[in-house]
Amino acid sequence: MKKILVTGGTGFVGSNLCKRLLDEGHEVLCLDNFLTSSEETVHDLLKNKRFEIIEHDIINSFSSDVDQIYNLACPASPPYYQLDPIHTTKTCVLGAINMLGLAKRTGARILQASTSEVYGDPEVHPQNESYWGKVNPNGIRSCYDEGKRCAETLFFDYYRQHKVDIRIVRIFNTYGPNMDPNDGRVVSNFIIQALQNKDITIYGDGSQTRSFQYIDDLVEVMVRMMNNEKGFTGPVNTGNPNEFTIKELAEKVLKMLPESKSKIIYKELPQDDPKQRQPDITLAKKELGWEPTIQLEEGLLKTIPYFREKIEKKESVKASN
């Protein structure tokens, strides 16, 4: 049994990771400032004596004796990270410094949840880890893109200068239960719009591509990356290499919800929105023996009931008031 710190532990990825770590018998310390999440995602975990939740913002220092640190804290959807871009940058940069400092003091191994956004609007397709990216340093997405790039820089500087035991994963589009219905990500947007019979909004002409990874596949590769004893630091891509256009995703959602009266409409593409996203996962296969096992149709079938329940619960509360 290890004592494991998960920052951003009540978020979408963090809550699923906390459950996995508890199922494996570990003691889990969940840290979150609740700016974009709540205890609701980990409600079922609170009765577990090996689970502790602390309200804390990692832009401020934190101390605890831990064996491993998963640094997930940071809003990951554009509407949330653009709401307070300065705080987003602080979370990426100061948060990394504080968590790396904790790892240095305790000797803990630390994993950074980086992102495919470090590749920006890529000129290389699919994206592999040796590609340096094409990122706008002054755009509305820069607080997140450049913040995560700087965090990777800090991780490798602490690794080289202080011998901190680091791991870095670059996460491509991920979806599944515990997503915030209002976080503005494309999978959650389309499912909720279809369930509510609202127009499905595509930005641009829908030809831009994404690769969609189910949450269980992501948690699996994160745990494998953290526990690999080969000294493999990464960065390593984690995502599903099967590529779909945004229009194809909308059509799949509508096909799975034939009762929906939603129609597809098109709006202007936001600034710096990447045209292509597809991970090259050759390195993950080689170093971790990992590749995704859940494809888009199966993942959507697992995810739709979660959002249906969230909507029904919200409507029930509204009716009772």
Helix (H) or strand (E) run with residue 260 in it? none
Is the torsion defined by CA of 141, 152, 80, 293 positive or negative?
positive
Pairing of strands 109-115, 27-32: unpaired
Query: Strand, helix or coil at 257?
Result: coil
What phi and psi values does residue 106 have, to the nearest 5 degrees?
-95, -15
Position 138: which residue type?
N
Question: Which residue type sits at 130?
Answer: S
User: Annotated active-site positions, please?
Assistant: 144
Q: Distance (Å, rounded) from C-alpha 72 to C-alpha 96?
A: 10
Q: Which helix (H) or strand (E) holds 213?
A: strand 213-214
C-alpha 73/C-alpha 32 separation (Å) is 7
* Biggest CA pair distance of the chain: 59
What is the spatial distance between Cα 225 and Cα 235, in angstroms, rounded to a whole number?
A: 10
Q: Give the ranges where 34-185 is alpha helix by DSSP (H).
A: 78-81, 85-106, 142-162
> How many CA atoms within 13 Å lie on the side-chain side of 54?
13
